[in-house]
Structure formats: structure tokens, C-alpha cells
Amino acid sequence: MTTSSQSAGSTGRSVARGAAWLYGATIATAVLQFGYAAITSRIVGADGFGAYAVALSAGALVALIGTAGIPGAVGRMVSLDKTKLRALSVAAVWLGLASGLVLVLTAPLWAALWRTPEAAPAIRATAVGAACAPLLGLLTALTRRLGRFRWLAGATVGSSAVGMVVGVLVVLRSRNAESLVFASVASQLLLTVALYSAARMEFEGRWRAKSALSELSYSAKLTGSRMVAYLSGNVGRWSVTTSLGAAAFGQWNRAEAVSTVPFHQLQSAMMQATYPEFRHDREGPERAFRIWADVVAMVAWVAVPLACVGAVIVPLLVPALFGPGWETAARMVPVLMIAGGIQCVVMILSSALEALGVFKWLWLAQCAALTVQIAGAIGVAVTHSIVPVFIALPLSLVVFHAVDVVAGSRLGYLSWRRLARHYVAIATASILIALVTWVSVLAFRTGWPGAVAAVVCLAGVALYVWRKRESLPPIRLAREYGLLGARS
């Protein structure tokens, strides 16, 4: 085995070990969230979920500013410096307290900006989550850097489970938008306590503010970059809420719960496992040029076909999951599913460039995506239809990714030709998978004869794929990078 192959295999196994635990936690958390969504969607109506979604958007912006990119700074450290970690932890505590106070004081202003005055109490309720967000981000990044993926996965699932159980009880009692915030806030608090208890030894001793200045400088740039990303992600939501009302945003929020939210969790698990690995590429592009295209492709082989299957199947499940009154949400799901799958791929490459600190290219990508989203928002205001923003959503991700690919290629970190070959194969396979899924669903809906025929055909396809598995691109990539054992 060559040195480059050994390096690739070592990287793959390192990522795989972390990803295995994080993926397991993601699946478990998604199952819990589906149950939570099924219960709460039958208790609170679309207007309540619209106010809740406004609160989440406001809280996310304040938490983003307050977090100040500290998790990213920890994740990209070549070596962990306890003096810097202590200084960053103090900064995180103070930034969190300031963020919570800002949300409490400005809740009416946020509600007025979104033309949803009933959202003010829910916005105030998010203040607790915003207060602990910077410290939680730092602790999560530190736990990943220490390689404690198993502990992180267990703590995440445990805190989510407890938070959602208590959250359901609060929603059953109060039945309003602010009660919906309780589950996420409780989960954040529990996870913060759990992670700090495991890593408290890293923060003992004195701290010096000057020791963290270089990391805080990077964090400030990262925060600016993510501010543009926030605007890009929320300008369409704002236009829908102000033009079509909180109920329309509530339908969007419920559609996201079964489409983009699971993909965001998958994306988070992938990024948590891969982000620390990108720090090695700060010294030069040689390693990156060998593996970046393949890493992005491996993510795409998981996310894009899964999104295509979900776009066909999940809309049919929405009525059973949420109950009556959510038909609009079901119609939104296919576009959000595809966008969620694309975003998983987009953010992996973006996080790699982010770890290198090439913010001029990142800002260019984000501004290009923001321009597309603004055009969609204007379309909503003019047509009073949600269609323009749903066209802009996946298109903006494609534009964003195109700029990142150009950046990676010009900087010498990415082989765009290799990536393009991967994408042709992935797009072809995904279209075929979507067609097979769609035809199978149609067959099942015709009655027993169609269902039997569909099962037989699917079994035949599965058998053929199994026999040809070693020739499939994703299997070859997984073997090359040590994600699967050697062929027997």
C-alpha cells in the first residue's frame, strides 16, 4: 500500500469511527423528534408553529452572533492549548449571557419585524438557549477534538430524550408557541451540563485573554461569514411570513421537521466527524487534492439518493404523522427534501474551505446564494405565492456550491474533474432510484396485485445490486478509504 493510500485509509477510519457514533445518535434523535412532532402537531395549530418558527429564527441569529465562531476556532486548532481553551470558555460564558439578555429585551422588536406579534413570548423563551449556546458550542467542539464521540453521542441522545418528554408535558399543559420552545431549551441545558462535567479538567487553572486573541480573530471572521449564510437562509422565510402570514410559515416549519431537519442532523454528524480532519490541510494542498473530491462524493452518495427516496415517500406519510390540517406542509416536503440532501454536500466542502480560513471565497459564495434568495423573496411579495422562494432554495445551494468548487480548484485543494465524474454517476443513480421508488409507490397504491409485483421487482433489483456491489462507485470509495473492511 502506498503512503498516500495509507494516509487516506487512516483518515477514513478516523472519520468513520467518529461518524459511526454520531450517525447513531442522529438516527436516534430523529426518531425521537418524529414522535415529538407527531404529538405536538396535533396539539398546536399552524399559527402557533409559525410563531414558534419566528422565535427559532430570531434566537438562531442572536446565538450565532453570541457564539462568535468559537466552536470553529476550537475545531481547527492544530494542538489543544489549555490556556486558550480557558480564555475561550470565559468569553463564551459572557457572550452567552449577553445574547440571552438581548433576546429578552428585543423580543417585541423581532416579533414586529416578522409581523407576528404573538411570537414575542416564544422569543423570550429562547433566551435561555441562546445564553448557553456559546459554551455548548465550545464544549461540543472540544469533545470532538478529544475523540470522545461515544460520550458525545450518548449525551446528545439522552439530553434530547429527556428534553422532549418534558417538552411534550409542557405543550400538553400550555398549548401555545412558547411551550414548543421548552424541549430544545431543556435539551441544550442538559447537554451543556453533561459535556462540561466530562471536560471540566480542561478548564482548570488560570487564563489569559491575550492567549485567545488569534483564535477570536478567526472567530470574528467566521461569524461574519455565517451572518451572510443566516440572511440567505432566512430571507425567504421572512418574505413568506410577512406576505402570506404566520400560518404559512407554520406549514413550512412542519414540512422542515420531516425533511430538512433530519438532513441537517446528518450534515451535523458528518461535519462533526470530518471538520477536525481538515485542520491537517492548513499546511498545504497536497493531501487535500488527493481526498477532498472523494470525501464530498462519499457524502453525496449517501445524502442525494436518500433525498430522492424521501421526496417520493415522506409526503405520503405527513397526514398520518401530523394529522389533518397539514396538507400544505406535505406539498412542500419534496423540494425541502432535495434541498436538504444538496445542503449536506454543499456544507462539507464549505466547512473544508472554512477550516482553511479562505473567507473571501466563502463570502463570495454566500453573497451569490443570498442574491438568489432575495430574488425569490421579491417573487413572493409580488406574486403572493410561495413558489418563487421554493425555486430559489435549491438553486441558491447549487450556486453556492459552484463558487466553492471554483475556489477549491483554483487554490489547488480540489480536483474538479474528479468531482464532476462523481457527480455524473451520483445524479444518474439518484434519478434511477427516484423513478424506481415512484413506480413502486404507484404500484402499491393500485392494490394487492400491484403491491406483489412491486415487491418482486424490488427484490430483483436488490439482488442484482448486491451481486454487483463491488463494482459500485460508493463501495469502491468506501473500500479505498477504509470505511469498509477488505474484500473477502
Q: What is the pLDDT of residues 241-272, one digit of tens each?
A: 999 999 999 999 999 988 888 888 777 766 66
Task: Give the confidence band of 446 by pLDDT, cuts at 50, 70, 90.
Answer: confident
The pLDDT, as a whole number, for residue 482 is 65
Please tell me the distance from the alpha carbon of residue 455 to that of residue 46, in angstroms, as a whole number: 37
Residue 240: pLDDT band with limits 50, 70, 90: very high
Domain-wise residue ranges, the chain: 1-35+258-488, 41-220
> Does residue 5 have a pLDDT over 50?
no
Site of grid cell 417538552: 167
Angle at 231 between CA 111 and CA 278, to 5 degrees: 130
Instruction: Give the per-residue pLDDT at 231.
Output: 85
Which carries the bigger pLDDT value, residue 423 or residue 26?
A: 423
Residue with the larger pLDDT of the pair 88 and 331: 331
Which is more confidently placed, 11 or 225?
225
N-term to C-term CA, the chain: 17
Query: Is residue 343 a contact partner of residue 304, using CB atoms and an 8 Å limit?
Result: no
| pLDDT averaged over every residue in the chain | 83
Report whether 202 contacts 142 (CB < 8 A). yes
Identity of residue 354: E
Does position 485 have pLDDT exceeding 60, yes or no?
no
pLDDT (0 to 100) of residue 272? 62
Is the Cβ–Cβ distance between 102 and 65 less than 8 Å? no
pLDDT band, residue 218 (cuts 50/70/90): low
Cα Rg for the chain, rounded, in angstroms? Answer: 23
Least confident window among 140-144, 275-279, 341-345, 410-414: 275-279
Query: Model confidence at 78, in pLDDT bands (50, 70, 90)?
Result: low
What gap in Å lies between CA 464 and CA 276, rounded to an integer? 38
What is the arithmetic mean of pLDDT over 72-87? 71
Mean pLDDT along residues 309-328: 90
pLDDT band, very low/low/confident/very high, at 221 (cuts 50, 70, 90): low
Averaged pLDDT, 196-223? 66
pLDDT value for 406: 95
Q: Which of 135-139, 248-252, 311-315 has the lowest mean pLDDT?
A: 135-139
C-alpha–C-alpha distance, residues 31 and 38, integer Å? 11
Q: Evaluate if residue 195 carries a pLDDT over 60.
A: yes
Residue 10, pLDDT > 60, answer no
Q: H/E/C letters for each residue in the chain? A: CCHHHHHHHHHHHHHHHHHHHHHHHHHHHHHHHHHHHHHHCCCCCHHHHHHHHHHHHHHHHHHHHHHCCHHHHHHCCCCCCHHHHHHHHHHHHHHHHHHHHHHHHHHHHHHHHCCCHHHHHHHHHCHHHHHHHHHHHHHHHHHHHCCCHHHHHHHHHHHHHHHHHHHHHHHHHHCCHHHHHHHHHHHHHHHHHHHHHHHHHHHCCCCCHHHHHHHHHHHHHHHHHHHHHHHHHHHHHHHHHHHHCHHHHHHHHHHHHCCHHHHHHHHHHHHHHHHHHHHHHHHCCHHHHHHHHHHHHHHHHHHHHHHHHHHHHHHHHHHHHHCCCCHHHHHHHHHHHHHHHHHHHHHHHHHHHHHHCCHHHHHHHHHHHHHHHHHHHHHHHHHCCCHHHHHHHHHHHHHHHHHHHHHHHHCCCCCHHHHHHHHHHHHHHHHHHHHHHHHHHHHHHCCHHHHHHHHHHHHHHHHHHHHCHHHCHHHHHHHHCCCCCCCC
Phi and psi at residue 411, in whole multiples of 5°?
-80, -10
* Between residues 149 and 297, the one the model is more confident about: 297
Mean pLDDT, residues 418-422:
93
Report the range of poorest mean pLDDT among 73-77, 117-121, 135-139, 244-248: 73-77
Q: Report the predicted TM-score, pTM, of the whole model to 2 decimal places.
A: 0.78
Span 419-425, average pLDDT: 94
pLDDT at 144: 78
Q: Can you tell me the mean pLDDT for 96-122?
A: 91
- Written as nine digits, the cell of 382 is 409580488
Q: Residue 479: what pLDDT?
A: 78
For the cut 90, the answer to whether the pLDDT of residue 90 exceeds it is no
Q: What residues contact 350, with CB distance under 8 A and at least 6 apart?
A: 362, 365, 400, 404
How much of the chain exceeds pLDDT 70, in percent? 83
Q: Scanning the structure block, which residue is given the C-alpha cell 421579491? A: 378
Mean pLDDT over residues 370-378, rounded?
Answer: 94
488 versus 183: which is more confidently predicted?
183
Confidence grade of residue 211 (pLDDT, cut at 50, 70, 90): low
